[in-house]
Amino acid sequence: MARHGEGSQQEHWEATYTSAADFFGKEPSELVISVLGVMRDSGAKDVLELGCGQGRDTLYLCRNGFTVTALDYSETGICQMGERAKEWGADVTLKVHDAREPLPFPDNTFDVIYSHMFFTMELTEAEVASILKECWRVLRPGGLNIYSVRNDHDPHYGKFEKVGEDMWRNPRGFIVHFFNEEKIKRLSKDYELLWIKEFEDGAPPFLKRLYEVVLRKPQA
């Protein structure tokens, strides 16, 4: 499975973002709209976004009053978002970072960690577990870890080229990791699992069926 360098998924994302300035469209995702109220009700202020891409959700969070730090391993996506942030006057901290490496923040830094379809990328279950552990570390007690993943009801589940456990490469060259509820519950170790909710995302280039997952780091 190619991870870095020529032919890697990272290189594929760089090329995709270079060729399409709004690959997923300009509007915020269904997920960020759905969980905005939950984040506000929790009293959250500081948000870390993983896999921010070109920043459609990042800028939405900034416009709604959150202080956002956004990470992605695509330098192209980060640069594109930086230009948009300047246009919008959005105060956001951007970092090029591969989240398979330790997160570059102290313990108990953020109120919320947010990611839309980040864990559904070319990440093994062991890597997802490791990242979730790092998320737990940098979350403040009572903080929320909110994410979405494509699920086993998705139209592309089980189709195309199988490249790993619950992972398939689609015709556009992207490797997608699909999740069922049992896997999500297994990966929620040390968190309080608040809910798993199915939803559809019609953002380009095709309809996707996902789970919205909300976890909480215990207060004690």
Judged by average pLDDT, the poorest of 24-28, 59-63, 157-161 is: 24-28
The whole-number pLDDT of residue 86 equals 83
Give Cβ neighbours of residue 146 (< 8 Å, ≥ 6 apart).
31, 35, 38, 39, 112, 113, 114, 115, 212, 213, 214, 215
Judged by average pLDDT, the poorest of 83-97, 163-177, 204-218 is: 83-97
Place of tokens 């391993």: 73
The whole-number pLDDT of residue 22 equals 64
The 10s digit of each residue's pLDDT in 115-137 is 999 999 999 999 999 999 999 99
148-169 average pLDDT score:
96
Give Cβ neighbours of residue 119 (< 8 Å, ≥ 6 apart).
128, 131, 147, 149, 177, 179
The answer, yes or no, to whether residue 140 has pLDDT greater than 50, is: yes
Residue 21 and residue 55 in contact, taking contact as beta carbons nearer than 8 Å: no
Cα–Cα distance measured from residue 212 to residue 119, given in angstroms and rounded to the nearest whole number = 12
The answer, yes or no, to whether residue 185 has pLDDT greater than 60, is: yes
The whole-number pLDDT of residue 17 equals 56
Give Cβ neighbours of residue 19 (< 8 Å, ≥ 6 apart).
none
Judged by average pLDDT, the poorest of 51-60, 70-79, 111-120, 191-200 is: 70-79
206-210 average pLDDT score:
93
Structure tokens of 147?
């994410």
The whole-number pLDDT of residue 18 equals 53
The answer, yes or no, to whether residue 96 has pLDDT greater than 90, is: yes
Place of tokens 């416009």: 63
49-72 average pLDDT score:
92
Domain ranges across the chain: 9-216
Name the architecture of domain 9-216: 3-Layer(aba) Sandwich (3.40)
Higher pLDDT, 68 or 76: 68
Place of tokens 């398979």: 100
Residue 167 and residue 122 in contact, taking contact as beta carbons nearer than 8 Å: yes
